[in-house]
Amino acid sequence: MPSSGTTSDKCINDAILRQYLDGTLDDTSAGVLEEHIQDCDRCRGLMVGLMDSCAQPLWLSMVGQSTYSAGDSSLVAVGTAQISAAHQGTLRSSDDQLHRIGNLPILQGFTPIRRLGSGSSGEVWEVLDVLLDRAVAVKMLRHASPTAADVQRLMNEAQALGRLRHPGIVRILEVLSRDQPAIVMDLVRGPSLAEQLSGRAIGDREAAQLVADVANAIHHAHQHNVIHRDLKPSNILLQPRVEGLSTEEMSGQPLSSYRPMISDFGTARLADSSGITFQGQMLGTPAYMAPEQIAGDASLITPAVDIYSLGVVLYELLTGRPPYVTTSAEATLQLVRQAEPLAPRELQPLISRDLENICLKCLSREARDRYATAEALREDLQRFLDGRPVTARPLGATGRLFRWVRRNRLLALSLVLVLVLLLGISLQSVLFGYRQRGLVYEAREAKKTAEAAEQVAKVSAMQALRSSGQLRQQLLKAISAMDDLIDAFSGLDAHDQTISDPARLHFFSVAIQAYEDYLAFDRTNGQADPADVKVVVRVCWLRERLQPGSANEQDLAWVAGVMQQGSASAGSEESLDLEARYTEVQAMHAVALGRHTEAAELWQRVVGIIDRLAELKNPPQLQLHRHYRLKAGILMNCAAQQLAAGDFTKAAEAAEQAIRVMGRIERSDPEWAVDVVRRLEYSIPLAQLLYGAGQRSRAVAAIDRALSLYADTQFVDPRLQATADGLQQRLQSYRAVVTGEAGGLLP
């Protein structure tokens, strides 16, 4: 083989080079040619000249062991004579040998650098604009014979981008249609938001600022009648604010060092054009689609769908996952249509409540309940960043109750029946009162002394009312039914979907009024009947649940006196039940007043009382399991108060005891999966307490037991599965902190 710079009889003629460039040369001859042009300047120069004159440009790649595939994002190089020195570092690989690739897309006047990404019908390349000597991004159709729908989508994106001029939206530079339709756009050097996150959550302020920037850009699009319809992390590109950073340097930068830029307007709808989306066509990504978007009705597509998608992006930034995580698109779409998302604070309790309210307002199922514009969303996020009150508020009790009724019709009917019963009792009382007033009038006329007769009639009427055994029996039945409902609802937690928390609290407020009406009816000479001590305790308990610290001190003192007078019956099932309820109210009251040590002691006393009750009742297995759940919850309350009082050791002991109690529940119990989630929740503060007390190995052991329990449990309910997945991720993250594998605090 001749040395570099010489000419030999072995040099290749134009015909052979053209066959090589056309891809018609056999593999053996092509290998000989490639080996020759490495050392022959003449043939290499001849090839470069042919590249300029051929109908098809030459696409070459560095020689390596692997071949090019559709998913390959490696660099693609051409003859160095065509590329300026400024781009040599971008295009050069570690191997200087070249070989030909025949299946790459062809765009005249552009030199490919690397493939940035691809979708179902298109792909995006970083290319060198040979004429202007600049790197740009080109989006083209990946198929040689695209369908009309593919071309329409690409041209739709070009038309949408052509309207927009905003620093937060990728700018269109040119539309090509010589060989195949393509869009030339500004090149964004950084990764997508999806690549940067990789399933992890970020801080509140960082998330709020990023979504505020994206909302500002999408508001510009809405002002120009462009609705994106597919906002998601993979369509939000991150442009480094500092130019010239290498890939390695960019990978270590925080999100605040990037400027988010919206891309991929292929599914965008032009609000002033009726020919872009056909009726019945559903476009978008299931996890990020608004409920009205699923119907495929173009008339329902408004800027509100983009605001919903921004809420999903904010949710994912805060929790590390979208609101709905399932194994299929069909299941995701069904949840979007029918289910309410878990509140972000249920997955990450440290999230700001204001930011959670902003996120949930964006995710409202009704478009009218979301922000009116993306600008309104941006302004509310800015209020959060500035430390000012935000406009987003949790859904009111009435709205929550209405939604709950739609999802729980049977239970709602039961509540309505109870309220109707109470109303009937009230009406009967009114009618009875009218009859008594008639008697008063007759007595006044008969005795000729109006004032004296009125007083006597009032006393007689009240005595007759109290002596009405039938009415009192109906009242007691209604109170008993109310007691059963309160006991059922008060035992529910965030994992029980029977009734929402706002609806439960609304019911509690109604119950307080019913109890107080009953006490007012049953008072003698203005004094409460000692037989009604349970009702008074129940009212105090409900007041503490609705507003901590609001229980009446005089009522509590009166209950204590009645209990002391009934000490002869101490130890009976009835007296223990009353003592447990009263002690629980005392503990709740102490917590509200900040008396943490006293509250911890009272919670421990409640545990002892309910254990004695369980021994007396000797309940069957399922009721015993409910006792274990109640006991474990009280022990966690005790642990929280001991922690607040600064006693880490006792707090850890209480948390460990709670987990051991939950471990007594057998796997055959219908609520086993819910109990597993509770044990995972309890394991997080236990590991924190043990680690904070310097007991690293015990903390790791507690986490490992919880992770083993998670791995051994199958969750049928997708919402429960999502909650368990979030807890498992937090446990794994904290384990890395405890073992020193990762720095920082618990996510």
Domain ranges of the chain: 57-185, 193-394, 619-747
> What is the pLDDT, as a whole number, of residue 390?
92
Helices (H) and strands (E) in the chain, counts: 28, 11
Q: Alpha-carbon distance 135 to 191, whole Å?
A: 16
Q: Report, in angstroms and rounded to the nearest whole number, the Rg of the chain calculated over CA atoms.
A: 37
The pLDDT of residue 384 is above 80: yes
> What is the pLDDT, as a whole number, of residue 259?
92
Question: Of residues 713 and 270, which shows the higher confidence score?
Answer: 713
> Are 57-185 and 193-394 the same fold in CATH?
no
The pLDDT of residue 353 is above 50: yes
Neighbours of 429 (CB within 10 A): 17
Question: Of residues 602 and 198, which shows the higher confidence score?
Answer: 602
Q: Alpha-carbon distance 649 to 662, whole Å?
A: 20
Q: Which fold has domain 193-394?
A: Transferase(Phosphotransferase); domain 1 (1.10.510)
> What is the pLDDT, as a whole number, of residue 745?
44
Tell me whether residue 655 is exposed, middle or buried, using C-beta atoms within 10 angstroms of its C-beta: 0 to 12, 13 to 18, 19 or more: buried
The pLDDT of residue 21 is above 70: no
> What is the pLDDT, as a whole number, of residue 710?
92
Contact present, 333 and 327 (Cβ < 8 Å): no
Question: Of residues 254 and 439, which shows the higher confidence score?
Answer: 254
Taking alpha carbons only, the member of 692, 665, 690, 688 closest to residue 676 is: 665
> What is the pLDDT, as a whole number, of residue 510?
76
Rounded mean pLDDT, 113-142: 84
> What is the pLDDT, as a whole number, of residue 226?
92
Q: Which of 150, 204, 230, 675 is catalytic?
A: 230
Q: What percent of the chain has pLDDT over 90?
A: 21
Is residue 179 part of the annotated active site? The answer reads no
Q: Alpha-carbon distance 550 to 590, whole Å?
A: 11
- Give the distance between the most distant pair of CA atoms in the chain: 146
pLDDT confidence bin for 312, thresholds 50/70/90: very high
**What class does CATH assign to 619-747?**
mainly alpha
Q: At what angle do helices 596-617 and 573-592 cross, to 10 degrees?
A: 160
Question: Of residues 115 and 95, which shows the higher confidence score?
Answer: 115
Contact present, 734 and 688 (Cβ < 8 Å): yes
Q: Alpha-carbon distance 344 to 353, whole Å?
A: 9
Question: Of residues 666 and 273, which shows the higher confidence score?
Answer: 666
57-185 CATH: 3.30.200.20
Neighbours of 708 (CB within 10 A): 10
Average pLDDT score, the chain: 75
> What is the pLDDT, as a whole number, of residue 385?
93
**Helix (H) or strand (E) segment spanning residue 11:** none
The pLDDT of residue 550 is above 80: yes
The mean-pLDDT minimum among 93-107, 276-290, 370-384, 427-441 falls in: 93-107
Long-range CB contacts (within 8 A, 24+) of 681-684: 681/727, 682/632, 682/636, 682/655, 682/658, 683/659, 683/731, 684/727, 684/730, 684/731, 684/734, 684/746
In the block, which residue shows the tokens 């618990």? 746
Phi, psi of 99 (to 5 degrees): -140, 165
- Which residues on adjacent β-strands are paired with residue 269? 227
> What is the pLDDT, as a whole number, of residue 513?
78
Neighbours of 542 (CB within 10 A): 23
- The per-residue pLDDT for range 458-494, each reduced to its tens digit, is 555 455 445 445 455 555 555 565 665 665 555 545 4
- Which residues on adjacent β-strands are paired with residue 98? 62
Write the DSSP assignment of 612-655 as a string of letters: HHHHHH---HHHHHHHHHHHHHHHHHHHHHHHHTT-HHHHHHHH
Contact present, 732 and 710 (Cβ < 8 Å): no
The pLDDT of residue 63 is above 70: no
The pLDDT of residue 601 is above 90: yes
Rounded mean pLDDT, 125-135: 88
